[in-house]
Amino acid sequence: MHFYSYLADALAVIFIAYTYVQAKRGKFGRGESAIWVMVWLLVGVFATFPWLFSAITVYFGIALPINLFYGLFSVFLLFMIYRLEERVNELQKVVLKAVQDRAIEEAKDEPHNA
């Protein structure tokens, strides 16, 4: 193994530990934590066995390994954008409900001019 393989494996372990700590602090949900742990595991596996990436490329009939990398990376980014959009929509609904509830409470407290 080359130096970069050891470095990538060490970084993968560090980031897996960091993800675990952040999940315990409540910064990541269970799903996000699982996704990031899988990403870092894949980084470690492909750094340790770089020939595996080429073998997968040949198996799927992709011209170059970098094409597989960019394709997977694009799908991953689209998935993350989708998840973020879901979270934003959920938070938007929570904020809207809170604002509506507060407006109703304020309307009840105000005396009506008749």
Q: Per-residue confidence of the chain (114 residues) as pLDDT tens digits?
A: 778 888 989 999 999 999 999 999 988 888 888 989 999 999 899 888 888 888 999 999 998 888 988 998 999 999 989 989 998 999 999 999 999 999 999 888 877 655
- Of residues 65, 43, 45, the one with CA closest to residue 56: 65
Three state DSSP letters for 75-99 = HHHHHHHHHHHHHHHHHHHHHHHHH
Is 16:41 a contact under the CB 8 Å cutoff?
Answer: yes
